[in-house]
Structure 1
Amino acid sequence: MFTNNEISWIRTEVKNSEQTKAISERLLTFIINKQLFKLFLPQTLGGAMLPLSDAIRTFQHCSYIDGTFGWLVTIGSGGGMFAPHFTEQAATAFYTPEDAVIAGSGFPAGIAKEVEGGYIVNGEWHYCSGSQYATIFTATAKLNAEDNTKLLSFIFSPEQVEVIEDWDAMGLKGTSSHTIRITEQFVPTYRTFSIFKKQYQLKDSIYDFPFIPFSQASFTAIVLGIGEHYLEETKAIFQEKSSVWQTDRLTFTTNVLKTATEKMNQAKAMFYHQLDSLWKQHTDKNTITKKQQKAFSTCCKNTVSTILEGTDKLFRLIGMQAVKETSIINRIWRDLHTASQHAFLMPQNEG
């Protein structure tokens, strides 16, 4: 998928985002040229559609290369899932440009008032990854301030959006996951949509796959990829210390690394077994039941927990290098813990 030279180059490019809080124009151009924001769009909309199983593995591999890189590819491609919910006019206009990518939020944090020809929208939405370079923004608002059941989503041009650069998380610093503010902006009716209603007939199977399992698979893949990178870097550190550490310490740390790797590989295998089974079931036109969705949700959260437990045990064994913010291992650890905080991955009682 990527050459060794490309992997090395991507990691070098992203490194500066720790200070700039943004990715470089060179890396953005690379992503666009590889069509990595278009993995859930058909060719008719300028896309590079992949089956879900392949796309999720792509997200994992991108996240293995770098957490910020993987997060932005995953979020950017995920915006393609809105395509059948847009009007045909909006989908054609906003998805077909080569550099098309969406940033936004589905949380109903705004208020929309219906007027002739459309709506006037106001509100603020947090955590809009990719706001640095988005060609359009989407956000969900209430149609009645007192009624949480009447919701509608809106498409905004960058000129209508104020980006408040407030993303200050400890990890994924280059994802520009900022707050956006909309003030008295008019949105014509053709630029409104609901994720519960299709307005444009696209036949690709991905658009009928249940949304929550889709999202959980996507974010679990990010954690898997970052976790894989963490274990690789830890192994390199232990090998580097082999001539310095006493035999007992080296043996102990190596065994902990081996156990963490085995557990992650087992969790990864279970995750992909369930994902591939659900995708096959879906493409065979068989309904995915609520019980199956629940089981997959548990699998995703267990996978993330397994990775965090293993990496945190290793963190304690690496030494002072692990706590230096300028070290690679520290940045990977921060990215891992930031990604795993996504709401879809939160442990909870699902009984």
Structure 2
Amino acid sequence: MKDESAAAIIADTADAATAAGKLAAEVAAEPAGPAREAAFDHALEVLRDRRDEFNEKGHVPRDYIALLKKAGLFGVAIPEQFGGQPQSPAKFMKQVEKISAVDPATGWVASFGSAPVYFASLPVETQRKIYAESTDIVFAAGMFPMFEAERVEGGYICSGEWQFASGCKGADLLGMGLRGGEGTNGKPLTALVDPAKVEIVDNWSVAGMKATGSHNVRADRVFIPEEMTFVRGGEPTIDEPISRYPVIAYAAQVLAVVALGAARGALDYVTEVGSAKASITGGPAKGNRPVYKSGLAKAEADLRSARAFFYETTEEVWAKAVADEEITDRDKALLRMASTQAAHVGREVVLAAFNLAGTGAIFERHPMQRFLQDGLVPAQHAMLQEHTFEASGALLLGLNAGIPSFP
């Protein structure tokens, strides 16, 4: 009976790659150059008007995702051989940083424009099929907890409920984490699935990053063809600069840069708006107080220092990827260090700006709350917590990192 059930499930399974391509093809990026740059500027303007709406909805709606697609945010990691126009990690992350300076949660969702770098370890034919109709694929994944899938002929039957699927309500393609085996070197598998085949569990009730819509994803005996699975961080099956850049480190970077953007937004507010407000007690304008001036200067210096380390390291490793030079564990450790530093300094800068903003910033509708509630989150992510400093230091010393799949 079990085999017959599995056969029925397999027969009923739609082609996730084709479904994703058709869904993504509804909106395409503007041509590279002035048209795409104008689309990006337009998306930022719309975001300023609608960011409160997104926070109240608890997700970034599909019509706004379409604007990010037009701006090219979801085509930045598609290999050239499949018709993509990949761009350097630094260029992409500076765009995410600008979005995050307006609304960090939307920046977090936009950051997953880099996610197709994972797909480079899929079979070449699978990649070709995914990108056949569109090179603007929106991907979201719930990787954990990892479930043991039922192995059947031609693939896996998957059941479970995965957490933290950021942006899942606007995704063209979803991923689910599966336990790896002997052939994955301890790394998890990711199974790709048509969003129509799974259930989004609307349970994202949080204080920060509300608009990311990082709901759970539930599957009940969904068949995943083997060719639609890949080892997360596995060896790429294609060879281009974008597939040579360290994929796990990049995943940490695109989240860390959201903290840099949140910090920039918070500092811009206390510089341009908050400093001009006089105290209700009759004291001088805040910007005229010594503690305000020195606090602002220190926060600006801290942010710029962390940002310089972050992008300097990114550019150095990208240059190696372009030149097809060896990217060492030390290079990857520096990327991870720079990412964790960016996330933690970004959080401290947001807190410093909140301190400067004074009592008024405690109100829910105060502009600083957006940066405070969202800007504290990146450093909480497993890939950016304090222990990644220790693991990076271990690699710099030639020791074992002590964390699976690190760096």
> TM > 0.5 between the two?
yes
Please tell me whether the aligned partners of residues 40 and 48 of structure 1 are also in contact (alpha carbons under 8 angstroms).
Answer: yes
Which string of whole-angstrom CA distances, capped at 9 and with x for unpartnered residues, describes residues 261-296 of structure 1? 122112211221222112213322322222333233
Give the residue type in structure 2 aligned to 1:286. E
Matched, 1:211 2:255: no
- Count of aligned residue pairs for this structure pair: 347
Which string of whole-angstrom CA distances, capped at 9 and with x for unpartnered residues, describes residues 328-349 of structure 1? 2111111101233221211123
Please tell me whether the aligned partners of residues 13 and 27 of structure 1 are also in contact (alpha carbons under 8 angstroms).
Answer: no
Superposed displacement of residue 188, structure 1? 1.9
Superposed displacement of residue 129, structure 1? 0.8
SS at 1:153 equivalent: strand
Q: Which residue pairs with 2:265 in the alignment?
A: 229
Q: Which residue pairs with 2:13 in the alignment?
A: none
Give the residue type in structure 2 aligned to 1:135. D
Please tell me whether the aligned partners of residues 61 and 170 of structure 2 are also in contact (alpha carbons under 8 angstroms).
Answer: no
Q: Which residue pairs with 2:383 in the alignment?
A: 344
For residues 35-46 of structure 1, the aligned pairs below 5 Å read: 35-46=72-83
Q: C-alpha distance in 2, partners of 1:143/1:241?
A: 57
Give the residue type in structure 2 aligned to 1:140. G
Q: Which residue pairs with 1:119 in the alignment?
A: 156
Q: Which residue pairs with 2:7 in the alignment?
A: none
Inter-CA distance 51–29: structure 2 relative to 1 (3 Å threshold):
same
SS at 2:325 equivalent: coil
Inter-CA distance 46–329: structure 2 relative to 1 (3 Å threshold):
farther
Give the residue type in structure 2 aligned to 1:295. L
Q: Which residue pairs with 1:300 in the alignment?
A: 339
* Structure 1 length-normalised TM: 0.89
Q: C-alpha distance in 2, partners of 1:159/1:248?
A: 55
Q: C-alpha distance in 2, partners of 1:218/1:255?
A: 30
SS at 2:177 equivalent: strand
Structure 1: 5+ residue runs without aligned partners? none
Give the residue type in structure 1 aligned to 2:271. K
Superposed displacement of residue 104, structure 1? 0.8
Matched, 1:55 2:55: no
Q: C-alpha distance in 2, partners of 1:6/1:189?
A: 37
**Percent sequence identity over aligned pairs:** 22
The structure 2 residue matched to 1:129, chosen from 149, 166, 184, is 166
Structure 2: 5+ residue runs without aligned partners? 1-36, 394-407
Taking only aligned residues, the RMSD between alpha carbons, in angstroms, comes to: 2.6
Superposed displacement of residue 167, structure 1? 1.3
Q: C-alpha distance in 2, partners of 1:42/1:121?
A: 29
For residues 10-21 of structure 1, the aligned pairs below 5 Å read: 10-21=47-58
Which string of whole-angstrom CA distances, capped at 9 and with x for unpartnered residues, describes residues 81-121 of structure 1? 12322233432333344453111133452121111222111
The structure 1 residue matched to 2:195, chosen from 142, 155, 158, is 158
Q: C-alpha distance in 2, partners of 1:279/1:108?
A: 32
Superposed displacement of residue 31, structure 1? 1.2
Inter-CA distance 101–307: structure 2 relative to 1 (3 Å threshold):
closer
Please tell me whether the aligned partners of residues 340 and 379 of structure 2 are also in contact (alpha carbons under 8 angstroms).
Answer: no
Which string of whole-angstrom CA distances, capped at 9 and with x for unpartnered residues, describes residues 152-199 of structure 1? 321111122111111122122111111111111111222222235457
Q: C-alpha distance in 2, partners of 1:151/1:290?
A: 20
